């Protein structure tokens, strides 16, 4: 009986985020939304994050990481391309492809991050469009007058 309850809870949680728009007015609220979103993530999930420079992609990821117990400072991976984190339940990979173009990503060897057993959080995911990843979460973050508009959609 407990398993059924958990499955129902998971379905409710998925529906809470799938094809929804959220508004946050502060970095703290954006991190909290990331933390809430992290509750539905599981190993092998891929999350694309899109938005202008400084829109809040890394801030959202900081919330996700905190839910998985990552204590260290999570910063933009722009200069390292990939940051790896270990939690008690799975590995998390933060990829920031800002400094690359679509042609550069072929030779990176990021397949193990994308198709491994961890959770991949990818900023500037348009750089890997050639991978044609159909099963993913996509998060688009835009500025508004009062903060951020965050659209979350699941693709199967």
Does the 2-155 domain belong in CATH 3.40.47.10?
Answer: no
Q: Tell me which residue of 83, 67, 76, 74 sits closest to 34, measured CA to CA.
A: 67
For 126-148, what is the mean pLDDT? Answer: 90
Residues 6 or more apart whose Cβ sits within 8 Å of residue 58: 74, 75, 76, 96, 123
| H or E element, residue 93 | strand 91-96
**Per-residue pLDDT, 2:** 27
Residues 6 or more apart whose Cβ sits within 8 Å of residue 75: 58
pTM: 0.84
3-state secondary structure of 134: coil
Q: What is the pLDDT of residues 92-131, one digit of tens each?
A: 999 888 866 665 655 666 777 788 899 999 998 888 877 8
Q: Tell me which residue of 34, 35, 10, 46 sits closest to 119, measured CA to CA.
A: 46
Q: Tell me which residue of 87, 37, 71 sits closest to 57, measured CA to CA.
A: 37
**Per-residue pLDDT, 131:** 81
**What are the structural domain ranges in the chain?**
2-155
Q: What is the pLDDT of residues 47-96, one digit of tens each?
A: 999 999 889 999 999 999 999 988 765 655 545 677 777 888 899 999 88
């Amino acid at each position: 009986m407990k398993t059924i309850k958990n499955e129902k809870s998971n379905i409710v949680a998925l529906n809470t985020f799938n094809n929804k728009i959220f508004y946050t007015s502060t970095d703290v609220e954006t991190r909290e939304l990331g933390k809430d979103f992290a509750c539905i993530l599981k190993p092998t999930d891929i999350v694309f994050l899109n938005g202008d420079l400084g829109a809040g992609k890394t801030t959202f990821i900081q919330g996700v990481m905190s839910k998985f117990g990552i204590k260290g400072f999570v910063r933009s991976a722009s200069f390292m391309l990939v940051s790896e984190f270990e939690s008690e339940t799975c590995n998390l990979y933060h990829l920031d492809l800002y400094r690359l173009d679509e042609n550069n990503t072929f030779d990176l060897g990021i397949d193990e991050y994308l198709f491994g057993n961890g959770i991949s959080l990818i900023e500037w995911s348009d750089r890997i469009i050639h991978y044609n990843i159909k099963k993913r979460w996509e998060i688009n973050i835009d500025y508004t007058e009062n903060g951020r508009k965050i659209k979350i959609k699941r693709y199967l």
